[in-house]
Structures are given as C-alpha cells and as structure tokens.
Amino acid sequence: MEIVTTETIPDEEIEEALGIARGNTVKARNVGRDITQSIRNITGGELKAYSELLTDARDEAIARMTDDAEAMGADAVVNVRMESSEIAGGSSEVIAYGTAVTLQ
C-alpha cells in the first residue's frame, strides 16, 4: 500500500476517493521513565525514552490507518497528516489520517 503526504502519487492515477482512513493510539509515560528523563532534562540532551515512545506511537497510528484503508478496499492513502495532543497528565494521542483511494 502506498502512503504519501502528497495529493497524488507519481506515475499513478487516482480512480476513486473512498473516504478518510484514520488510525490513532494513546500512549502513557511511566514513572521509571519520568525519573530518568527528569535527570536528563537537568543535564541536557535528547530525551531518548520519550523520542522512542513517540516513534512507536506514530508507527502504530500509521499501521492502524493502513488497516483502515485496506478494510475500505484502498490501494493507497494520499494527503497523509499526523497530529498529536495531550489527553491527560502524562499521556498523549497520536493520530494519522489521509484519503483512502483506489488507483487505476
């Protein structure tokens, strides 16, 4: 399945737009990770545990969006966007969405 952030796919023609495909996940931090990352925050540098958590969340949201598009019979998802937001203290939602399409 093609997944692109553009409105079209090079060398492909869109036959039909099927609707919005979407996938989301909510991830929470854990106390142990918060303690180690708080120390890192004092000394400076990348908060790798949080970076990994968000990377996992983005990958999961994209996978769920792809599953949604496949269930609609899509060949591709175009104009893909991602957003994140805080849901409650210490947890964040990541959502991926785009237009599910069939290709000629």
Q: What is the pTM of this model?
A: 0.82
Q: In what order do the strands lie in the sheet with 2-3?
A: 2-3, 76-88, 91-103, 14-28
Question: What are the structural domain ranges in the chain?
Answer: 2-103
How far apart are the C-alpha atoms of 49 and 29, rounded to whole Å? Answer: 9
Conformational region of residue 19, where left means phi above 0, alpha means psi within -120 to 50, and beta covers everything else: left
Check pLDDT > 90 for residue 33.
no
Return the CATH class of domain 2-103: alpha beta
Cβ 1 vs Cβ 65: under 8 Å:
no
Residue range 42-98, pLDDT digits in tens: 566 666 777 788 889 999 999 999 999 999 999 999 999 999 988 777 778 999 999
